Structure 1
Amino acid sequence: MMDIREVTHYLTRERSDIPEVISFRATRRAIGVLGVALPFLLWWGGLLLNRTALQPSISHYYFTNMREAFVGVLCAVSLFLFTYKGYNKMDSYAANAAGFFSLMVAVFPTNIIDGYPGQSMVASILDVKIHNAIHLTSAGLFFITLACMSLFLFTKSNKPKSQWSDARKSRNMVYKVSGWIMLLCIVLIGISEPLLGVGKTSKVTFAMETVALFFFGISWLTKGDVVFGD
């Protein structure tokens, strides 16, 4: 069994093949895959299983036949984020916060749009302002937390920049691009309706959420050494 110094040494290395670190990579990859897959799972699943039209946002799939998939994936992401242990406490705190916000998005559904196809009984019970406020706030904080992790935590290294490999530099570029795109998507979602005149049934929000989730997934897959590994 390794002592604490050996564990610390291995956890602060750029790469390692010991089982403990492999499990960290597997967690990162699982988070990344779920992030990339979620919008396509809901869209194509709804279309193939029930001919469900593309919804205005990912959250509106709660009111379709894909509700279980929506809630299940968010809860799985939340679980992985809660169990994720980064290189330091800040990594873990940020991941736990993102996991909490993901869980809140699943537990507190968004408001269904008036006249839009959905489960009317569920909508009438859950169409409460506080639910929507918690949902929207949690969704925004979820993406902001993930973006900040990509920009400020994933880019950290225990080595000086002069010793960075080309792969390390490429990974940092992926983290930065992913983080900024996630933030841009949040801004575009916020201004699309009031400033751009986009209606509530527009698919702009779904498109921006899909892009944000894609780059969230790419960032975590990169962190899991799927691309640009040393």
Structure 2
Amino acid sequence: MEDERAREELDEAIDSLVEAPEQDRATRVDKVEEIVANDVLASSYARLQFLIGTIAFLLPVVVALFDWLIDDQGIRGSISSYYYGRTGGWFVGSLCAIGVFLLSYNLRPRPGFGVDNILTNLASVAVIGVALFPTSSEGEAATGGSAVVALVHVICAGVFFVLLAVLALFFFTRIDDRRYGFRRGLWRAVRNDPGTSPSRQRDNLVYRLCGWTIVACLALIVVNNALDLGWLFWLEAVIVWAFGVSWLRKSANVARALRKLTSVVRMGA
């Protein structure tokens, strides 16, 4: 993802600043500040990542908890079915907000990340589609136009969930493809490069855990729907939580780089 490359560039610039002779430090401070201000937009990325992760993490909790508190309603069959409850506004608003934030996230795309941007934009369209095309009401068979709307909802949800797994597994962890090439970058997304820093290895572990959790839940959703096990809400909730955790981790990474920048700039002032 763009911010991963940006964070690497920022870390490299900061490290060179720390090691620079006193007479060269002012020039290198200017370079670091240029990266942050004119290229990375790191603070904006961090805020967007934090908002996306927080909204996603809270979504299943809020819709289920307040539906229960207001109407004494037990857990519904799926997160999407809360569209028809008292918390339907929160459901629609949260998904639309995530979609808008995902689209805004690539407002200034960086060279070499066209595929990443396309996938994120597709995820944005898909999650907004989930919000605007509701599933069929529980206990009622969808017919006519409502059946078409429900089908669009299922397709959008499936596309969104698959893209979440792909992004977490193959793009959040990917090494800069300018250096390694796209295919080798994808290969290193499933195993760490020998030169990967310990902090990056920890980040990649979190992203892979989130991605494979989403994949496992998608497989279990197929089993659940075939056997009518009644697990759909919880499987969807785990997917959304894994999505939220991965983006909160990304937000923490950028925030950490900014704190490092602040301390180094103060040292060089």
- What's the TM-score, normalizing by structure 1? 0.82
- The root-mean-square deviation of aligned C-alpha atoms, in Å, is 2.7
Counterpart of 2:122?
Answer: 97
Aligned length: 210
Q: For structure 1, which segment, 177-186 or 123-132, has the greater mean C-alpha deviation from structure 2 after superposition?
A: 123-132
Indicate the SS of the match to 1:111.
Answer: coil
Question: How do residues 69-218 of structure 1 correspond to structure 2 at under 5 angstroms?
Answer: 69-85=90-106, 88-114=113-139, 128-158=146-176, 161-194=193-226, 196-198=227-229, 202=230, 204-218=231-245
Code of the residue aligned with 2:171 in structure 1: it is: L
Deviations 1:6-26 (A, max 9, x none): xxx957626588351111111
Deviations 1:71-128 (A, max 9, x none): 000000000011112652222211111010001001110011226xxxxxxx989971
- For 2:99 and 2:254, locate their aligned partners in 1 and report how far apart those are by CA, in whole Å: 24
**Which of 52, 59, 83 lines up with 1:62 in the alignment?**
83
CA gap of 1:176–1:228, structure 2 versus 1, over 3 A, is farther
CA shift for structure 1 position 222:
1.1
Question: How do residues 6-21 of structure 1 correspond to structure 2 at under 5 angstroms?
Answer: 13=9, 18=36, 20-21=41-42
Matched-pair contact (CA < 8 Å) for 1:109–1:132: yes
CA shift for structure 1 position 156:
1.4
- For 1:227 and 1:218, locate their aligned partners in 2 and report how far apart those are by CA, in whole Å: 15
* Structure 1 unaligned regions, length at least 5: 1-8, 116-122
Code of the residue aligned with 1:218 in structure 2: it is: V
Code of the residue aligned with 2:243 in structure 1: it is: F
Structure 1 or 2: more helix by fraction: 2
Code of the residue aligned with 2:149 in structure 1: it is: H
**Higher radius of gyration, 1 or 2:** 2
- What's the TM-score, normalizing by structure 2? 0.71
Counterpart of 1:118?
Answer: none
Code of the residue aligned with 1:222 in structure 2: it is: R
CA gap of 1:220–1:70, structure 2 versus 1, over 3 A, is same
Indicate the SS of the match to 2:139.
Answer: coil
